[in-house]
Amino acid sequence: MIKNARPINLHHQRLWLLPQKAIYWQKKNILLVADLHIGKAGHFRRNGIPIPQQINSGILTELDCLIEEMKPKHLICLGDLFHSHFNEEWQQFKAWRKQRPAMEVTLVMGNHDILPSHIYHSTHISVFKRLRLAPFLFIHDIDKLENTGREFSYYPIGGHVHPAIQLSGKGRQRMKFPCFYFGEKAGILPAFGAFTGTAVIHPEEKDQVYMVVENQILAAK
């Protein structure tokens, strides 16, 4: 049993949904995260918007704590690992990466991952446009999937959307929570990064949605 995690069975695989907005794939000892957006605070500061630098270090600290708890052999980021061009926050990440040389790190490229490939490789990060590890296909934006039999013989899991579910209460009260989404054709992780925003999704009846609420994973319906 993993503390405050919720197990689900997806395509005959046991996945643990973690309140840190990540997934632990038990059989493969893989930790899945999406949309860290490291460097976003620096990008805003460079454009004259006073965003605290501690946002970046906070993301890495939370990731570090999660890795210490789960001890994965492989970390897979489903896109938007780094939000900006090369800056000092990349140096922070590079230093963090050096502290865990034995852990394999893979980046599935997202639309904000605009650094040259050799920069990632120099930090011992493998880079893919999409990654097949049966029965899953890891991709950043599931809307970019090609409509081919080969693609859809795997169950796609991505990020990009920063999904959230909105609940309505009495007196027109509305609350929004980041969520994991698993539909018939694809799944989506919530954004791991704290400085990302969210987009409200509207699941269909058969979809499975799990909210992250106060360090717990709760079924949305």
Residue 85's pLDDT band, with cuts at 50, 70 and 90, is: low
Q: Which residues contact 208 (CB under 8 A, 6 or more apart)?
A: 8, 181, 182, 183, 219
pLDDT mean over 200-213: 94
Query: Between residues 45 and 27, which one has the greater pLDDT?
Result: 27
Cβ atoms within 10 Å, residue 211: 22
Angle at which helix 54-70 crosses helix 88-98, to 10 degrees, equals 20
Flag whether pLDDT at 24 surpasses 90: yes
Tens-digit pLDDT profile for residues 140-183: 999 988 755 555 689 999 999 999 999 876 656 778 999 999 99
pLDDT at residue 132 tops 70: yes
- Cα–Cα distance measured from residue 195 to residue 177, given in angstroms and rounded to the nearest whole number: 15
Residue 192 CA to residue 81 CA, distance in Å, equals 10
Looking at every residue in the chain, the average pLDDT score rounds to 86
Task: Delineate the domains of the chain, giving CATH numbers in brackets.
Answer: 6-219 (3.60.21)
The identity of residue 149, as a single letter, is G
Per the model's pLDDT, the better-predicted residue between 95 and 49 turns out to be 95
| Predicted TM-score (pTM) of this structure | 0.89
Letter for the amino acid at 194? A
80 pLDDT above the threshold of 60 = yes
pLDDT for the residue numbered 44: 44
